[in-house]
Structure 1
Amino acid sequence: MLQRNPAFEDRTPRRILRGVDRLADLVELTLGPVGRSVLIDRGAALPLVGDSGYAVATHFDMADPVAQSGVQALRHLAWEMSRDFGDGAATAIVLARAVLAGLVNMMDAGYDPQHLGDAVVRRAKAIAAQIEASAVPANDIGTLRAVATTAAGGDAGLGGAIGEAFHSVGRAGTVIVEAGHGVGDEIETRPGLHFGSGWLSPAFVTDDALGKAIYDDAYILVASGRIDRFDEILPMLEVFSQRKKPLIVVAGEVAGEALATLVLNRRKAGALVCAVAAPGAGDWKAMNLGDIATATGATLIGDESGHRLADIKPAMVGRARRIEIGRNHTAIAGGAADPQALEARMAHIRGEIASARHLAYDREQHELRLARLSGAIALIRIGAATKPALDQRLEVAKRAVAATRSARAAGVVPGGGTSLFRAAVQAAEAASGSETELMAANVLAGALGAPLRAIVSNRGRDAAHMAGLVAASSDSSSGYDAAGDRITNLHAAGIIDACEVMVEALTRAVATAATLGSVAAATASASKRNDRGAA
């Protein structure tokens, strides 16, 4: 068993703060439109240029194991912000350092760390509510572009494309980014239900130029199992053939005699049919088929539902105003979904998203399912001249999409650290209660100006002077524009942040700092550490 040596009492918070300070000093450099990058040593691997709080936090270590525990706590905080919102990691780290420093100073003056930490958390929640109340909706394309550009590190081209994509799909739609094949960015908007699989034979194509099977007023049979006997689907094929209506078969698998006979009927008799591969694999295939059935008003045929192909009736087949089926893509528009069943299905998927918050792949797949059912999808194909540049832009785009999605959901507030700074000033002016509550208000009043001060300092200006000018302005939207080096109306200048990002950065940073500040002892392995790039 490894021997563990404890570090006791008042030395522990200070040692933790040492690690937090060293990391936050580097992260501060990345804040704002004139923030700088940090060169990160990775041992034998090539150095990495980090231009975000998350990138810096991921690769920074301390040799002192107690100081390293502070670094790890902030690394986790940065990871949470990046995972959940795609933005705000640097702000959260800078806030956490400032709050922890204030708490440690108060503890040195004799205040109880637990009571003080609890008071700071309570105050932070009140300030968060105040910020939320000040948010304005992010519905117009200008606001969406501004949020995306800020989250994309000032890349106006990328931010503009993301803002345009969000505006084009509306509040019910979603935006997806993927690697493109050119230098520029491209946007494709797809209304209706889409999935990435298509016809099982080119014989089903009705439009040779497009390579698609395209039908209006189509009927859709959805089955979760394997269909390989033609007599299983013959009754439905005869019914819709007599009605001169197309029948689309979407199943877990269509093969053997069933597929061969469908192809033959299409080629020889011009039958209005098409067999489509179900999207996904395993459990995801079953869920996707259930979504397709719900979206088209079909009854899912299979073991899960208890319905057999032999028992199928015309009323169990779904319907769509139009369906376009390509080799690797299917689009269904105007599905005959039952509104209540559709809403119930989407509510269930939202629950799955909440349950999968720590499983990135599962969460993304459920979000894609929800997007398919709820509205249009905008696909942004990211371009770049080189593979490393493409990888970097793709990662930035994903973060910016997450931040813009958050802004669309909960509104926006003035950027540049202004919303946090103004809320802290107002909270300090209205502070009341016990001495501990007053001290907690003082800690936050000083700490919540840290992001603004870092942005001003990165511009090379006097942070205290600029903070004073912002505080003196009666316009709640007035703040410091670092790119223009001026005090201005930030909403008008397009310098805005997603409200939810700022609120979560505040509450999570304060909770992290309060936890670290209340630590009385820390244990570390007595074995020698082997830290690459440790400070």
Structure 2
Amino acid sequence: MSKQITYDEKVRALLKEGVDKVANAVKITIGPRGKNVILDRSYGSPMITNDGVTIAKEISLSDKVENMGAEMIKEVASKTNEVAGDGTTTAVVLAQAMIAEGMKKTTMGVNAMGVRLGIEAGAEAIVAALKTMAKPIKNHSEIKQVATISAESEEIGTIIADTIDKVGQDGVVTVEESQTVGIESEVVKGLQFEKGYVSPYLITNPERMEAEYNDVAVLLTDKKISSIKDILPLLEKLAQTGKKDLVIIADDIDGEALSTFIVNKLRGTFNILAVKAPGFGDRKKDALADIAAVIGAKVVSEEVGMKMETAEISVLGHAGKVIATKDHTTIV
């Protein structure tokens, strides 16, 4: 396959053209007087939206270099949506302006590294200033206002505010698509920690980049699992009960063991979700003990005379649902 090679001013101009084509389509939606955009999709009917990240994702340019610029600005929208859940259009407008000014300065002969350092310093100063101006949300009414604006629905805003009241500030709120008509909220006892799946090959929902298992057995260990021989006896015992799903929360999972888990997952023979245990040192032990208390498991640890090779299925806990992203794991 032939390659297209472009240099210097020409490549910068094409990259900026790609950035501008995406940004110009997105930025008309900004603010209360923003306009809608109609998207012609490859399947289904056209879509009308004013959501920045949705618009950006639908744009693909024929020129390869321009498309690289488009992909950069699309990444800005996606990352903002992933981190903040809102503000994608504002992020795109800011990124377009910084790229335009940055290219103008480099064209004038300013050192590109100096431009980068200046942008980073400016960003830090702006973030610090915004934090001083930020107003913490303190009560049900303010939560409802923010949720209503974000969801564009007073009904949903009220439900979100009521749910947060029930679970508290430290609680976790997740949103799922229902198979029935209407909006419902349910409070379930569980926990969440800041460690996700060890490999994206273990996900079950590519659209949401999540791994989700229902009514699943859970293994807890402070041991690093690298060899499949260590855990194979326990997997065989679990398989004999007719179960093909297992969540493993361990000190680490890598090497031959992880490769085998991925192959079995892709083949559909045995589904394993591997997650690193949260914390370090004694905090990791405490975290595993907390998880064990919630799911009714025993932590497999040589410190208490338990070896992985001889562990029985009685050490496994049970969770009604486990959802893991690349950064978080939720057990309910």
TM-score > 0.5 by shorter chain = yes
3-state SS in 1 of match to 2:187? strand
How many Å apart are 1:64 and its aligned residue?
3.4
2:255 matched to which residue of 1? none
Report matched runs for 1:301-450 at 5 Å: 305-306=306-307, 329=320, 362-363=325-326, 366-369=328-331, 372=332
Conserved in 1, the CA contact under 8 Å of 2:190 and 2:330? no
**Alpha-carbon distance in structure 1 between the residues aligned to 2:299 and 2:168:** 30
| Residue 89 (structure 1) shift | 1.9
Q: 1:301 to 1:115 in 2, by over 3 A?
A: closer
Query: Match for residue 175 of structure 2?
Result: 177
Structure 2 residue matching 1:177: 3-state secondary structure:
coil
Q: 1:196 to 1:302 in 2, by over 3 A?
A: farther
Structure-2 separation of matches of 1:299 and 1:159: 40
Q: 1:4 is matched with which residue?
A: 4
1:110–1:227 Cα change, 3 Å: closer
Indicate conservation of the 8 Å contact 1:52/1:90, yes or no.
yes
Distance 1:300 1:196 in 2: 21
Secondary structure at 2:6 match in 1? strand
RMSD of aligned Cα (Å): 4.3
Aligned counterpart, 1:527: none
Q: How many angstroms apart in 2 are the aligned matches of 1:92 and 1:193?
A: 32
Amino acid at match of 1:37: N
2-structure distance, mates of 1:110, 1:226: 63
Tell whether the 8 Å contact from 2:246 to 2:272 is kept in structure 1 after alignment: no
The residue identity in structure 1 corresponding to 2:166 is S
- TM-score by length of structure 1 reads 0.41
Larger Rg: 1
> Partner residue of 1:197?
215
- Look up the match of 2:100: 101
Correspondences of 1:240-251 after superposition (within 5 Å): none
Decide whether the 8 Å contact of 1:226 with 1:255 is kept in 2.
no
- CA shift for structure 1 position 306: 1.6
Cα 1:145–1:363 shift into 2, 3 Å: farther
Alpha-carbon distance in 1 for matches of 2:104, 2:188: 56
Alpha-carbon distance between aligned partners in 1 of 2:275 and 2:38, rounded to the nearest angstrom? 46
Work out the CA distance in 2 between the residues paired with 1:292 and 1:112. 52
Which residue does 1:443 correspond to in 2? Answer: none
Shift of 1:162: 2.1
Query: 2: distance between equivalents of 1:60 and 1:277?
Result: 40
- Figure out how many residues of one structure are paired with residues of the other and give that number: 260
**What is the alpha-carbon distance in structure 1 between the residues aligned to residue 103 and residue 289 of structure 2?**
55
Residues 1:284 and 2:284 aligned together? no
By relative contact order (CA 8 Å, sep 6+), the higher-ranking structure is: 1
Q: What SS class does the counterpart of residue 40 from structure 2 fall into?
A: strand
Deviation at 1:75, TM superposition (A): 1.1
- Residue 21 to residue 309, structure 1, CA distance change in 2 (3 Å): closer
**Aligned AA for 1:367?**
T
Distance in 2 (alpha carbons) for counterparts of 1:62 and 1:226: 48
Shift of 1:21: 1.9
Match for 2:307: what amino acid? G
Aligned counterpart, 1:187: 185
CA separation of 1:170 and 1:6: change in aligned 2, threshold 3 A = same
Q: Compute the TM-score of the two structures, normalised by the length of structure 2.
A: 0.62
Q: Secondary structure at the match of 1:178?
A: coil
CA deviation vs aligned residue, 1:447-485 (integer Å, no higher than 9, x gap): xxxxxxxxxxxxxxxxxxxxxxxxxxxxxxxxxxxxxxx
1:30-67 Cα offsets, whole Å, 9 max, x none, are 22344332112234654333331111111113333333
Letter in 2 for 1:102: E
Deviation at 1:297, TM superposition (A): 7.6
Q: Which residue of 2 aligns with 1:406?
A: none
Query: What is the distance in 2 between the residues matched to 1:166 and 1:309?
Result: 40
User: What are the ranges of 5 or more consecutive residues in structure 2 without an aligned counterpart?
Assistant: 193-212, 217-232, 248-269, 278-287
Matched, 1:40 2:42: no
**Which residue does the alignment assign to 1:68?**
67
1:284 match: secondary structure: strand
Q: Which ranges of structure 1 fall in alignment gaps of 5 or more residues? A: 199-223, 229-251, 257-275, 319-324, 331-359, 373-535
Aligned letter for 2:326?
A: R
Q: Given the superposition, is the C-alpha separation of residues 361 and 75 from structure 1 closer, same or farther in structure 2, using an over 3 Å criterion?
A: farther
